[in-house]
Structure 1
C-alpha cells in the first residue's frame, strides 16, 4: 500500500531530484495546496501539471506536515490496482484495517494520497463513494503523470467534487525567493518611489538573478533540467520527455487519431513559441485538416505543454490582430525543437529576445494560475504594428508590460504601451518595460522601467 514501495528505480531517482528542488525552492503549488486547508466541506484535490514538474513530490512533501494518519496508493502497483477495482465494501474494510478503526469513528482526518490514479479507471467510482460518505473523515488528494487522462477521468466520474491545483515547471519567483508569493499585480500598483526603493533594496541580487536567467534561457525550468550542470544531460532529458509524452500520454487519447501527425504539431507548436498562432499555416505544413490541427493544439494546452495568450480587443476602435499568441509552458522545448542550447547560440540566432519574452509571459502564467490573483492576460497588436507583449486586465484597470532583453531602456521602448494608452481611453493605469537594466527609472507619469526580476519576489 505504501507509495514508496511501488516506485521503481527510475521513479525513486525522479523523486530524489524533485525532492531536491522542493527542499531548495518552495513551490507555488504547495502554497496553493496549503491555502485550501482541507476544510470540512473540502473537495477532492487534484494536482494537475505536465510530466516531471514535481507533482508526486509535492504530495509526499505535503503529507509530511499532515497531523493525522496518511495512506498512500499508487495506480501502477498491482496490489493497489486490485483493491481499487473491487467492491467498495472490500475497500472500506481494507481502509479500516489500515487506519485502525471504523471509518465512521475517525477522530483526526485521514489524508489519502492516490498517485497515478488515472491508470485505474475503476478507482474513480470508489473515490466518489468514499468522498460522498466520508468527506469529513478522509481528505483525498490525487495526481498522475498524465494530467490529460486524469482531467478526463475526474470530469467524467467526479464532476463537482474536485478542486484543481495547477503545477508548473519552476518559476523565477520560486528560484529567487526563499518565501515566494505571487506579487506581480501587487507590485504593479505601487507608486514609483516605492518601486525605485524596492529595486534599490534588491540591487545586490541582480548578479544572482542574471545567472538564473542565463541558465533558464539555456536549460529551461523543469526541475530536473534546471538542476543539471551538463548541457548534454539537459538535451537527453528533453528528448526523453518528448518521447515519453508522445508514447505514454498521447497514444491512447481518443482525441488523437495518429501520434505521428500529433508529433508534427507538437514540434511546430514549440518551434513557433512566441508567435501568432496560425492554424491554416500549420495545416498546410503538416497536411492535416484545419479542425484536426485545432484539436491537437487543444490537447497540447490541456496537457500543460503550451498556453495561448489572447489578443486584447475590448472597446478598441482600431484594426487589431485578433489571433492569439502561442507560448511553450517551458522554453526548454523551444530549444529542443530548434537544437538551440546555450546563451551564445541564442544571441547569435537573434532569437534571444523572443525567448526572454516567452520566459516572462510564462512567469506571469505560473504566478497567476498557481495562485489565482485575478488578472486576465492578453497581448496587444494593431494592424499598423504597434504591440505590447503582455496586457493584464484586473477589473476595469489595464496594466501593460513590454519585455526587452537589453541592458538599457529607451523612450522608444514604450511606443506600443503609449498606443494602447491612447486607444484604451483611460483604462491603462500603468505601463512597464522589463529589461536587464538593474535599476528602476521613470519615463513619464505611470510609465516605468524596472529590472526583469522586480515582479519575481526577489529577496
Structure 2
C-alpha cells in the first residue's frame, strides 16, 4: 500500500507538479530525507548527498512540505544566556512512509534499527501536531538545543501553560532520562511549566515532578493538560 502511494503520489504526481526531470535523483532525495528524521537539517549536506544543487534541494524540500510529506520543527528562540542552535529538525507527517523509505517492512526490524529512536520521536511529534490541527488549533511546537549539548525534544506553548517533553523509545524509564528536563527547567522555567516524558512502555506515573506517559496515552495527556490515569 505504501509502495503504491509512493509510486503514484510522490513519484508521479509530485514529479509532474514540479516538472522534475530526473526521477531517480528525486527519489534519492526523498529517501535521504527519511534517513534524516529527527536530525538537524543541513540543506547543503542533503543537496551534496543527493547530487543536486542547494537551490534544487530547497525547492524539492518546499514541495514535500507543501504536500504534507515532511515538516520542519523550529528551535525555540528565547533571550537566554546560552547560545541556541538555529537549525530546524526534519520530520515526516507519516512515520509509516518514512519507515517504508528506509526499507522497514516488519515491526520486528525496528528492534535493532539504528533509527528506532528518531522514528519513535517522529511519531510522537507528529501525533502532537495532528492533535492540535484536528481541534482547529495552530500548534506552537518547537524544540530546545544549545551549543552545550542540552536538548529537549518537544516544547509546546499554550495560553494556559507550557509543556517540555522528552521522547524515548525504550519501555523502561530511568532517572537519567529526566535530567535534561530538570536542566532546562533550571535554565528556562517559562518553557517547562509541565514536564513530560513520553516513552515506549506502558507506565503512567509521576516521578521527580515529571509525568511519565506512554505513547498510547500521549493524546489524553495533551487533551486534558494533566497526567493520564495512573500518573497522578
TM-score scaled by length of structure 1: 0.45
1:414 matched residue in structure 2? 178
Relative distance call for 1:286 and 1:438 in structure 2 (3 A) is: closer
1:288 matched residue in structure 2? 52
Deviation at 1:317, TM superposition (A): 2.3
Counterpart contact for 1:377–1:392, Cα < 8 Å: yes
Residue 449 in structure 1 maps to residue 212 in structure 2: yes
Deviation at 1:425, TM superposition (A): 4.0
Counterpart contact for 2:40–2:88, Cα < 8 Å: yes
CA distance in 1, matches of 2:19, 2:151: 35
Which of structures 1 and 2 has the larger relative contact order (alpha carbons within 8 angstroms, sep 6+)?
1
Relative distance call for 1:439 and 1:313 in structure 2 (3 A) is: same
Match of 1:327, SS state, is strand
Q: 2:194 aligns with which of 404, 419, 430?
A: 430
Deviation at 1:380, TM superposition (A): 1.3
TM-score scaled by length of structure 2: 0.85
Relative distance call for 1:250 and 1:289 in structure 2 (3 A) is: same
2:101 matched residue in structure 1? 337
Deviation at 1:308, TM superposition (A): 1.0
Counterpart contact for 2:71–2:90, Cα < 8 Å: yes
Greater mean deviation of Cα atoms: 449-458 or 322-331: 449-458
Deviation at 1:244, TM superposition (A): 0.9
CA distance in 2, matches of 1:255, 1:302: 15
CA distance in 1, matches of 2:187, 2:17: 44
Match of 1:253, SS state, is helix
Match of 1:391, SS state, is strand
CA distance in 2, matches of 1:375, 1:338: 28
Equivalences for residues 32-431 of structure 1 within 5 A: 237-254=1-18, 256=20, 258-395=22-159, 397-431=161-195
Residue segments in structure 2 that go unaligned for 5+ positions in a row = 221-227
Residue segments in structure 1 that go unaligned for 5+ positions in a row = 1-236
2:223 matched residue in structure 1? none
Supply the RMSD in Å over aligned alpha carbons: 2.3
